[in-house]
Structure 1
């Protein structure tokens, strides 16, 4: 728990640092974008932007003032133009001046003076208007509304404010849009690291985003499969070690007895015993290897269409010779044709029937029927039954219960493990309930129509 808390705290700090880093990068990018956009917008023609240039706006705004000043100069010829300007100066918020007509002006101002009699100089923010004499009326400097004409500090304040506000808004939108993806990614990474460290019970929390939802399902399924395989392999390894211990102990005992034997006649029985124990070891190894191969390689059912009652009758007839004396065995099967893998289904039915022959008292029944496009195989017996708490154990390889199902009945405890493995290969299942006969009821469900 403490380690998980530290991990989450570390991930949170990493998220905060990354967020601040991305926010600073976003501010810089936004500032560059804003500055470039202003420059680009300023050089675009009026026909595209719909906004007149600064010199046109100033010319239109100050034409009236220039005309009034000209009119005042014309109405008072007895005094000089400068004296008239001096009298009018208190009425204006900018300077009223005269400048020689020989003053160097830009081409834009010169052209505007020729066509309109008034022009605005963008560089020094002054209005120039023509008079009757060789002088020009100079008004200004004018306050500019163009952000590019403002002083450097004002421009950067505007740019920074715009960038901060837009970046914060964009970052909030980005966070709300992608925070769930971040959380899902962290959860997947946390689970992957836990699995790497050997915690096979680690699972990913349900994803909140459509992008990672399939990935979490696949990862959890993979983790469950890995846990199942590792647990099964560990169980089989321990069980095999336990199974091997008995014949090896007998071999060791027989060898020690052979050393103490005085004659060949005393040795021969121990040699025969050793041969039997070696055969048992070989059988145990072979059946274990076959189960491992069947477990590791995905079983692909080879489906063929069969007349189920005819096939079941032949199978049950072949097992009658193995039936105990004074034992009643009945089988019922629906008259249907279905697709099954006869080889795998044969293994299921034989193992269930032989299991009933071993552990039932006097009777067993086999019932096969179809329901909801599934094939049901049920075997009932009148034996001692199985405790519900221990029913899952009978499907574990090499597992034996401490009731009537003991080592004395023979076998290695792999028959029902085979049944479970084959049922799962058909996307089916197997489980145990209490039989109406008083013993155990084994139920196998197969999706027999997989090939259709």
Structure 2
């Protein structure tokens, strides 16, 4: 499957959407985000302007009253120099000299807020709700001097085009909108490119192109997501390769015992001699046991080769634990001398390991040594560079230098001249390596002081993730 997907990937190339679709997706993302940010900004600005205007309204009204106090007193004095019958002409003449409107109205025609009406009746200056028109009751008369609107934007003299404050607001908001658009574009463009790259990678993975990987992300927010996506793709690719390798190897391994069973059945049907039939039955039983052992070893390797489980680490007395493992397999050694040497270990040394999986590694090494040892097997341990090292030595034929790394690959058997009873299935040492990798360690092969092979397991004394 991996080879076919690689050819398909090389023929089709990575998925590339049409240019118009890319531009449409980018434009839509940009405008959606821009409208969201701009709308939020405008809403916050309007709310802030309302709060500030409400808070400073009293201060503004007081400033306006003090600012216009002198002007109104001068207008009032000018009016009282003339008879009341001349006041309309006088106010009209004064109105020509000021930039804002002046007029005299009767008190009863005004509708002011209660607080401002009270101030007006007490002889103080009153201001309308907009803070733009000032009222002053002419002393000892029922008439009121109205000044304003005093803002230039409400004065017809200044109504040439748009009001000044509106022009300033439009210019300000235009500049803000342009600056915000530039900032949003600079932020959205790399984010969109990262999202598009991950989308193309996910699409390729969904089509079975497991060689596809997400490129380096420009945005730090998507870096962990890209790493997770690439890690998932690598695990899937590794699992598919492992399953393909297992399927191919198991299919090859099953042919020999099945062929022998078929041949024995044919011979059994043709033979009438009891001794010959008994021999054929024993051969078929041996082949069935071999099939059962192969299936069991393959399932164990597949279980360890899948996604690594969380280790249930426990601190154990390593000398006592190793001695228990050696005693548990000593019965299988028959006439072999199996020894355990803890002299190089400090007393009461506790090491962290998983009690469920680490016994597989020790047991497989011991069984492997029993297949090739002539007379003696020695298990020892030592502490070196903050790690525990367990050695399993035998006095067998040893392992050539060029084969010491390949020996841990699945279905690898170096001595092809031996029969299956001695050679095994080539999965035991592969399981050992998987167990040590889960413990953040490694397994290695070398030359033994006894003259045969030495297998060494090394992993950290403490992994800082201990679980009871």
Asked if Structure 1 and Structure 2 have the same fold, meaning a TM-score greater than 0.5 normalized by the shorter chain, the answer is: yes
Q: Distance in 2 between matches of 1:86 and 1:346?
A: 111
CA contact (8 A) 1:291 1:418 kept: yes
CA contact (8 A) 1:385 1:439 kept: no
1:259-298: CA deviation from partner (whole Å, max 9, x where unpaired): 7x48668973655544443333233223334444566695
Matching residue within 395, 398, 407 for 1:383: 398
1:285-316: CA deviation from partner (whole Å, max 9, x where unpaired): 23334444566695757764364596688689
1:62-119: CA deviation from partner (whole Å, max 9, x where unpaired): 332333233334456699345545655553234454x453661123565444333654
1:24 is aligned to: 35
Deviates more, 1:181-190 or 1:128-137: 181-190
Q: Judging changes above 3 Å, is the alpha-carbon distance between structure 1 residues 435 and 116 closer, same or farther for their aligned structure 2 residues?
A: farther
1:69 is aligned to: 75
Q: Distance in 1 between matches of 2:457 and 2:326?
A: 18
Give the root-mean-square deviation of aligned CA atoms: 5.5
Q: TM-score, normalised by structure 2?
A: 0.66
Q: C-alpha displacement at 1:370, in angstroms? A: 1.7
Q: C-alpha displacement at 1:140, in angstroms? A: 4.2
1:24-72: CA deviation from partner (whole Å, max 9, x where unpaired): 2333344344444444544x3xxx5375355x55443333233323333
1:414 is aligned to: 427
CA contact (8 A) 1:364 1:382 kept: no
Q: Judging changes above 3 Å, is the alpha-carbon distance between structure 1 residues 11 and 427 closer, same or farther for their aligned structure 2 residues?
A: farther
Q: TM-score, normalised by structure 1?
A: 0.68
User: In the TM superposition, what are the counterparts of 1:97-136 in structure 2 within 5 Å?
Assistant: 97=103, 99-101=104-106, 104-108=109-113, 110-116=117-123, 118-121=125-128, 127-129=134-136, 130=138, 136=144
Q: Distance in 1 between matches of 2:64 and 2:24?
A: 55
Deviates more, 1:23-32 or 1:334-343: 334-343
Aligned partner of residue 390 in structure 2, secondary structure = strand
CA contact (8 A) 2:335 2:375 kept: no
Aligned partner of residue 150 in structure 2, secondary structure = coil
Q: C-alpha displacement at 1:242, in angstroms? A: 0.8
1:383-424: CA deviation from partner (whole Å, max 9, x where unpaired): 35142xx65543233233588899695211122123223324
Matching residue within 2, 10, 14 for 1:3: 14
Q: C-alpha displacement at 1:236, in angstroms? A: 1.9
Aligned partner of residue 116 in structure 1, secondary structure = coil
- Which of 1 and 2 has higher RCO (CA within 8 Å, sep 6+)? 2
CA contact (8 A) 1:331 1:366 kept: yes
Q: C-alpha displacement at 1:225, in angstroms? A: 4.9
Gapped runs of 5+ residues in structure 2? Answer: 1-8
CA contact (8 A) 1:34 1:163 kept: no
Gapped runs of 5+ residues in structure 1? Answer: none
